[in-house]
Structure 1
Amino acid sequence: MAIRLSHPLRHHLLNPNHHTNKPLRVRKFSIKNEKSEPVEPHKMVMKVKQTLEKDYKNLPVGKNGRDDEDMIIWFLKDRKFDIEESVSKLTKAIKWRQEFNVSELSGESVERLARTGKAFVHDCLDVNGMPVLVVVASKHFPDKEDQIENEKLCVFLIEEALSRLPDGKEEILGIFDFRGFGTENSDFEFLRFLFDVFYYYYPKRLGQVLFVDTPFLFFPLWQLIKPLLRSYASLVRFCSADTVRKEYFTETTVPTNFRD
């Protein structure tokens, strides 16, 4: 099986798509960090904001900036309320959003690849109330497409899926449809990029990943990518299209490409 390994992975840094103007919702209970010290979320957010203001004055403010309290609390939770680790991860995320021009991505800017139907955000939520990002592997042709354009489409769709999160929900469902998958669709770089994005820059935003009707020829690629997925490997479920229809959607909400 042909696996594209010729170019080194460009590490990408993204942060959750949250709005600064929303009030910070703080639960009234104490949380313990890795040092078993009781902490108060609001005070921890203030500490991060003060550190960023002092040491990273050049970072932007506002939505997805160094004073975005929703984003700060999310990275604190991801880093188990470790200030130093949260600041490190958050600053990289903010810097990369600037470099990648995430705020400038739009439906128009990714329209050409989006029209291929290779990936899309489903119009309906799954039965658990999660937004659904669908990837149709058989429509992905890495040798004929620009890697950067694929990455832009990926980021745009992640942002779009997260923007559809209902109140009280924090995760999305990813579905990889491998029906019709061939060697010409194999792309180690892109799979690694995709999971790095979720692992480092959208932490804990991916609730589950379904690999649907995976062919035998995919498994050598899976053995390469699995060690790189870290904790996300446990989120992957290999299943059939019938399972997708029966367990994750109703007759009226199932994606068109999974209907009988």
Structure 2
Amino acid sequence: MALRACPALRHPIIPIAFPTVSRKPLFTKRSFSVHSSISGPTEARKQLVLEVKKQLERDHPSLPIGKNGRDDEEMIYWFLKDRRFDVEEAVSKLTKAIKWRYEFKVSELSEESVKGVADTGKAYVLDSLDVNGRPVLVVVASKHFPSVHDPIENEKLCTFLIEKALDKLPPGKEEILGIFDLRGFGPENADLKFLTFIFDAFYYYYPRRLGQVLFVDAPFLFKPIWQLAKPLLKSYASLVKFCSVETVKSEYFTEETLPAGFRD
């Protein structure tokens, strides 16, 4: 499956200095304490969310409102967190994400609307969670044929399944696990463009939602494709782990929750 090339995902560690004497306020208009960002609602957080909300309303009044719209405070807070509580960067990224959701008609995607491509079995969301309590999105690469399947329909399926996986997030969990089953992968399955689209979608529209990606039993043929894809994925490449079926069985699932395709 393929994707458009995505820029680097940057989540640098923010150094925190503790000067001997400082009369500067802890929070500024466009920044937010790292510790406060994970400690629940605060006045500083509310102020930044309100600032983004007002700026979106002022500069982008045509953007939709409601869930995943310009006034969705939960979504605003998530993008603020992703952009290290930089208001301008959060507004910029949110604007693109909301426009994309509207133009791509994400809210209209359904089991029925993606049924044709989903019936190929190329990708699905597992009913169970992994051992870390994460929803699991599985891609079966050997069932993906870019010369046959409509790339737009592939993108719709990908988006629908990401949404479905996120809907399964238990309280307190924020990330999902992606599994690429590469057994039986051949030249006819290679699709760098769609692979890039998947990671691109997570960077632009679902930031910090992808916790880890497993490339399972990758054949030798996949290695040159990975060498081409890796620079495009930048820091997202660090989320990828090459592993065996046995590793999937022993480290990520119980006997009851193991995906059917990985059972003996």
Fold conserved between structures, TM > 0.5:
yes
2:204 to 200, 204, 208: 200
Specify the code of the residue in structure 2 equivalent to 1:144.
V
1:60 to 64, 69, 72: 64
The answer to whether the 8 A contact 1:31-1:41 is kept is no
Structure 2 equivalent of residue 45 of structure 1: 49
- The normalised TM-score by structure 1 is 0.86
Task: Count residues with an aligned counterpart.
Answer: 236
Once the two structures are TM-superposed, the CA of residue 32 in structure 1 deviates from its matched residue by: 6.4
Structure 2 equivalent of residue 19 of structure 1: none
CA distance in 2, matches of 1:192, 1:60: 27
Question: Percent of aligned positions with the same letter in both sequences?
Answer: 68
Instruction: In structure 1, list runs of 5 or more residues that go unmatched.
Output: 12-29
1:243 to 244, 247, 251: 247
Specify the code of the residue in structure 2 equivalent to 1:172.
I
Once the two structures are superposed, residues 146-178 of structure 1 have per-residue CA deviations (whole angstroms, 9 ceiling, x without a partner) of: 100000000000000000000000000000000
1:113 to 114, 117, 120: 117
Matched position secondary structure for 1:174? strand
Once the two structures are TM-superposed, the CA of residue 220 in structure 1 deviates from its matched residue by: 0.7
Once the two structures are TM-superposed, the CA of residue 60 in structure 1 deviates from its matched residue by: 1.0
CA separation of 1:194/1:31 partners in 2, compared to 1, >3 Å: closer, same or farther? farther
Once the two structures are TM-superposed, the CA of residue 255 in structure 1 deviates from its matched residue by: 0.3
CA distance in 1, matches of 2:59, 2:117: 40
Matched position secondary structure for 1:216? coil
Once the two structures are TM-superposed, the CA of residue 222 in structure 1 deviates from its matched residue by: 0.4
1:213 to 206, 217, 221: 217
Structure 1 equivalent of residue 262 of structure 2: 258
CA distance in 2, matches of 1:93, 1:50: 17
Q: Does 1:227 align with 2:228?
A: no
Specify the code of the residue in structure 2 equivalent to 1:153.
L
Instruction: In structure 2, list runs of 5 or more residues that go unmatched.
Output: 7-24, 37-43
Between the two structures, name the one with larger relative contact order (CA 8 Å, sep ≥ 6).
Answer: 2
CA distance in 2, matches of 1:41, 1:73: 8
Once the two structures are TM-superposed, the CA of residue 9 in structure 1 deviates from its matched residue by: 3.8
Structure 2 equivalent of residue 188 of structure 1: 192
1:14-33 alignment, distance < 5 Å: none
Once the two structures are superposed, residues 122-150 of structure 1 have per-residue CA deviations (whole angstroms, 9 ceiling, x without a partner) of: 00000000000000000000001110000
The answer to whether the 8 A contact 2:215-2:241 is kept is yes
Structure 2 equivalent of residue 140 of structure 1: 144
Structure 2 equivalent of residue 170 of structure 1: 174
The answer to whether the 8 A contact 1:105-1:156 is kept is yes
CA distance in 2, matches of 1:206, 1:145: 25
Specify the code of the residue in structure 1 equivalent to 2:123.
A
Matched position secondary structure for 1:211? strand
CA distance in 2, matches of 1:191, 1:31: 42
The answer to whether the 8 A contact 2:32-2:84 is kept is no
Once the two structures are TM-superposed, the CA of residue 53 in structure 1 deviates from its matched residue by: 1.1
Once the two structures are TM-superposed, the CA of residue 37 in structure 1 deviates from its matched residue by: 6.3
Matched position secondary structure for 2:147? helix
The answer to whether the 8 A contact 2:31-2:86 is kept is no
Structure 2 equivalent of residue 82 of structure 1: 86
Matched position secondary structure for 1:92? helix
Matched position secondary structure for 1:142? coil
Structure 2 equivalent of residue 20 of structure 1: none
Once the two structures are TM-superposed, the CA of residue 31 in structure 1 deviates from its matched residue by: 8.0
CA distance in 2, matches of 1:195, 1:62: 26
The answer to whether the 8 A contact 2:181-2:216 is kept is yes
CA distance in 1, matches of 2:141, 2:251: 21
Once the two structures are overlaid, the 10-residue window that deviates more, 194-203 or 182-191, is 194-203
The answer to whether the 8 A contact 2:5-2:196 is kept is no
Large movers: runs of 4+ above 2 Å: 8-11, 30-33, 35-39
